[in-house]
Chains A and B, each alone.
Chain A
Amino acid sequence: MQKGPDPAPLLDVRGLAKSFGALRALQDVDFTLRAGEIHALLGENGAGKSTLIKVVTGVFARDAGIVRLDGAEIAPRSAKAALDCGIATVYQEVNLLPNLSVAQNLFLGRQPTRLGVVRQAEMRRRATALLQEFGLHIDVAAPLGNYSVAVQHVTAIARAVDLSARVLILDEPTASLDRHEVEILFRVMRQLALRGIGIVFVSHFLDQVYEISDRITVLRNGRLIGERETASLPRIELIRMMLGRELAETTGERVAAPAHGAGEACVSFEGYGKAGTIAPFDLTLHHGEVVGLAGLLGSGRTETARLVFGAERADSGEVKVEGRAARLHSPRDAVAYGFGYCPEERKTDGIIADLTVRENIVLALQARRGLHRPLSRGEQDEIAKRFIELLDIRPPDPERPIGLLSGGNQQKVLLARWLATSPRLLVLDEPTRGIDVGAHAEIIRLIREFCDKGLALLVISSELDEIVTYSDRVVVLRDRVHVEQLQGDAIDVTNILAAIAADGAARGAAS
């Protein structure tokens, strides 16, 4: 469907760049939003979606590039300034106040007053009328926190639009909504688009993207991959844009040793799952084997890892460690069985920034030994020195606070922390996230090396070519189900993409 000869863009972003230290979060990104369109912004974790949004809305300052709204250049310095320009953002975590009434939330700071006293009845009347425009008929005097997330989202949107927003950015608005609530939200979005408001829709639910959006922009690793009309973009092509490089580049790179599958079973799960989190799965990890978990964001990769590590408690199935029945009710249990877990959010869940490299390395080992058997300083120094050499951690100074190291070296320290406990199974969630290319290759090499020594590894990564490179086996997830296991020569990017896109491909092409 054509909307006339390329209407002038409402929001026009050119050549945007943003770095955090050595990490280039955005490089030369263009983004165009027309009035009255719903534009999906897609990409995996770390692709740069949030950074783009935060630069446009003034939360971060940009390093380079131009942002134009209606042809005029803007450079908001804060979310408030962006709002004053007419750019409003509604985040997945609703940025409203659950302890205030719905009406107060809609009109906070601009309540109708008479002689300094808020006219409660008038405010309620206006709030009711405003929400009715969006198809919500609720008691606006009740606290916002009493209502569902969908109502809170619509309230946030209503406030933004009532503040005369022309660009509305919805960041993962549907993540915690059920089907019916998504319908409500989509109806509101279509209505606003008809009024000429430009909507940026960030989501990892591809079905929803195909249902609601007019155009799609895909980012990967901070770069613009492409901008397409939704109607003419097959789903498998979209997934390829999000996950893979060109196929030709990746196929030759496999370094995984082929025959590892025959090693002894280390840990095996049968019918293991948790209702509402991940469907029951069977998974056997052998000694010396790397198993990759592939799938889109939200497909259940991290959930699987958390279940394996006992961070979530399974409500069905059994687990066996070295052939004997085991119980994984908490990370403590998992550590006792010799499991290790490097989480995705290195900064918040992994490193302890103020402690030194040495202290970070011995942390898990000390925890395993218990507080009554402290490691002597000599032992600590010895262990730290060994791993700093082994993993080539730079600078090789065990007494430096880990927060001062680069991302790649922090990741190595985390690896060292678990390796020091001589684990049986190590779970790595996005081990190469936010790491520059050189360190990237090194981490992959290290992964292979440790495996050859008999360790079992479960690795999550959004980079398909990376998974293909080091995995002996790849488990593909879709919509919180383990849909396929690929082994040996079957492991290549094309097959993984096909498995991820399997059920949606037909629908995507048909629409």
Chain B
Amino acid sequence: MKGLPPVVITAIVLVAGFAICATQYPNIASTRVVGNLLTDNAFLGIVATGMTFVIISGGIDLSVGSVIGFTTVFVAIAIERLGIPPWLAFVAILVICAAFGAAMGGIIHLFDLPPFIVTLAGMFLARGASFLLSTESIPINAPIYSTVSDFALRLPGGGRLTAIAIIMLIVIAAGALLLHLTRFGANVYALGGSRATTALMGIPVGSMTVRIYMLSSALSGLAGIVFSFYTAAGYSLSAVGVELDTIAAVVIGGTLLTGGQGTVIGTFLGILIQGLIQTYITFDGTLSSWWTKIVTGVLLFAFIALQQAIIVLARRSVLRRAGATS
């Protein structure tokens, strides 16, 4: 028996959903709308790429939303109050975020703690730190911000592919390459299959764990920078709850929440599905925006149920095989 891989199901859901929306509001099927959809969800796509690695390796990272919030505040203060050149502020925050992630990964490995707890602590820590820096929203007026916002590739049909959308697409492509074509990627899947076994097979489990959380936090930092471009401000309350949207996108994209299976492309499709729901609600105009959450919830539940069904079916077929041989 070979069922459809979950990522194909995600793709079908996306195409079907898009078709339904397009029949109701033909304007949705335009490059303008699609371009905006990519721009609006650029930061989410970047952070979800990192989350995909973490979840496939059998972990979870609850700190990503707070890290985004911290990043926007840090960047705003560095550029606007301290007068640090923007590129230097970007490099600094990426290094800080990577170190933060490495520390979480190290703690998870050294003390053999559940990633849930460690990254939950990281979530409070990063959010608290951003309040410490500033509790107000700080507008960013550096020239590079207007340059980046103005830059866009013109798409046929009047759409614009903005700089931050391009950054997201590059991150997703690079993430897919890293996950699917390198030893590092193979080790990520191995960790998600079984930590103990992976260690027995001679893979340095500790350094892998550190590097995976480092990647996730660094990408959160990048997402934070992108988010500051998007809003042209730094605010300590930005991106609250984004970790949950991210996890939802990853799971809807067909990644097994228990680890071992998943793709970056699937995650991208999951992001697009969430974006599509938002777009639909905007077009409709009468629906409350909370319907995004409700539909996401239903989809999430459907996908988790689907994955469980696939696992149960697979186990049953293995059992049947074993039963036949005994």
Contacts and interface: CB of A to CB of B under 8 A. Distances in A.
Contacts of B217: none
B181 A95 contact: no
Contacts of B323: 276
A148 B186 contact: no
Nearest to A181: B325
B203 interface: yes
A250 B80 CA distance: 91
Given A96-B197, A276-B326, A80 B202 contact: yes
Contacts of B200: 79-80, 95
A276 B182 CA distance: 44
Interface stretch (A48-56, A103-111, A286-294, A388-396): A103-111
B189 A117 contact: no
A108 B322 CA distance: 27
Interface string A117-132: 1101000000000000
Interface in B187-217: 187, 189-190, 192-194, 197-203
A148 B321 CA distance: 8
A191 interface: no
A108 B203 contact: yes
Contacts of A181: 325
A83 B203 CA distance: 13
A450 B243 CA distance: 60
A95 B194 CA distance: 9
B322 A97 contact: no
Interface string B304-326: 00000000001000100111011
B260 interface: yes
A228 B261 CA distance: 49
B81 interface: no
9 contacts: A99-B192, A99-B261, A100-B190, A104-B186, A104-B189, A108-B190, A111-B186, A116-B183, A120-B181
A511 interface: no
B183 A111 contact: yes
Interface of A: 79-80, 83, 95-100, 104, 108-109, 111, 113, 116-118, 120, 145, 148-149, 159, 176-178, 181, 276
A104 B203 CA distance: 13
Contact of B182 (A80, A100, A117): A117
Among A80, A108, A120, A178, max chain B CB count under 10 A is at A108
A181 B193 CA distance: 25
A310 to B, nearest CB: 21
Given A80-B200, A83-B202, A100 B326 contact: no
Contacts of B321: 148
B189 A99 contact: yes
A99 B193 contact: yes
B197 A97 contact: yes
B183 to A, nearest CB: 5
B325 A148 contact: yes
Given A80-B199, A80-B202, A116-B182, A100 B325 contact: no
Which 4 A-B pairs rank lowest in CB-CB distance, beginning with the nearest? Answer: A97-B193, A178-B325, A99-B260, A99-B193
A118 B197 contact: no
Nearest to A89: B200
Most buried by A among B183, B190, B318: B183
B318 A100 contact: no
Nearest to B177: A117
A111 B200 CA distance: 17
Contact of B186 (A96, A100, A176, A177): A100
A44 to B, nearest CB: 23
A109 B203 contact: yes
Contacts of B261: 99
A100 B191 CA distance: 10
A108 B194 CA distance: 13
B186 A108 contact: yes
A118 B183 contact: yes
A276 B322 CA distance: 11
Contacts of A100: 186, 189-190, 193
A83 B192 CA distance: 23
Given A97-B198, A100-B189, A109-B202, A149 B182 contact: no
Contacts of B181: 117-118, 120
Interface in B276-326: 314, 318, 321-323, 325-326
A109 B205 CA distance: 11
Contacts of B182: 113, 116-118
A149 B187 CA distance: 23
A181 B202 CA distance: 28
A99 B197 CA distance: 12
A403 B181 CA distance: 48
Interface in B92-120: none
Contacts of A111: 183, 186
A95 B200 CA distance: 8
A273 to B, nearest CB: 15
A177 B321 CA distance: 11
Contacts of A104: 186, 189-190
Given A97-B190, A118-B183, A176 B202 contact: no
Nearest to A107: B186
A96 to B, nearest CB: 7
Contacts of A118: 181-183, 186
B271 to A, nearest CB: 24
Given A95-B200, A100-B189, 20 more contacts: A79-B200, A80-B200, A83-B202, A95-B201, A97-B189, A98-B193, A99-B189, A99-B192, A99-B261, A104-B186, A104-B190, A108-B198, A108-B203, A109-B183, A111-B183, A117-B177, A118-B181, A118-B183, A177-B325, A181-B325
Contacts of A176: 322, 326
Contacts of B189: 97, 99-100, 104
A95 B187 contact: no
A96 B190 CA distance: 9
A116 to B, nearest CB: 6
A108 B326 contact: no
Contacts of A116: 182-183
Nearest to B325: A178
A113 B201 CA distance: 19
Nearest to B183: A111
